[in-house]
Structure 1
Amino acid sequence: MTAENKNIVQRALAALIETGDVGALASVLSDDFVHHRPDSTSSTKAEWLAAVRTSLVPLAGMQVEIHHVLADGDHVVMYSRRRLPGGGPEIVVVDIWRFDDGLIAEAWEIIEPVAQAAANLVWWEGEPAGR
């Protein structure tokens, strides 16, 4: 199933990116799908698909370079770099997908603007003494 899960993610995302086909993505999500964001918010299948549909127009023409797609058991992890159209910011994205019974049941997404990456490499250092 690991290879098949990777194929499901790659096919659905390719269809979404290349043609804007949200239906290809919707068809591989379970009815009780949950999407998690780093700010601790979550959305249902219907809420997330609505957000994806809304974002398609501003993201039309986005370049996506998939660097890694890894699978282990019921999880698929994808690391990609994305460039927004019109000279918009470059971002890196880590998507984690959990499968249940052949469908994506949960997803986590972490997005970081490349321009801010250096600042985020030292978050654990805290404030210097005396400030």
Structure 2
Amino acid sequence: TCSCSSRHQPLRVVCVSIEALCDVDIAVCTCHPAPQQLVQMGYFPCSPVYPMLAVSLDMLELVSTLFVLAVPNERAWATTITKYLNNHGHEFATRDALQCRFSSALSQYQVLMQLVDGEMGKIIDDAR
């Protein structure tokens, strides 16, 4: 709970990890935006405002590393994860729910990691 005076908006987000697909209900307000709450739970939102889907940070790290070593194919990865989760009893509401949103989350995650690496490099250089 928070003490801000802004209206709390309920939001249901589908969270995807290698192990499972689950719905997470959060209350969004000015001081607790959805992306912040999702990152604190270990998920990266597929949209910066009111995301409907979020991908686990572990999965994004795995795919980012894989795509450095192999030809990037986001469509194949999304299809594979969708089939894997379906085989384990987890189904998306729509057929291509993961593909476009996963691509968005992955590209935003990779940009963020590049910015973090750049800032860390500056801090290390300044400390020398």
Q: Same fold (TM over 0.5)?
A: no
* More RCO (CA 8 Å, sep 6+): 1
Using the size of structure 2 for normalisation, the TM-score is 0.25
Structure in which a larger fraction of residues adopt helix: 2
Using the size of structure 1 for normalisation, the TM-score is 0.25
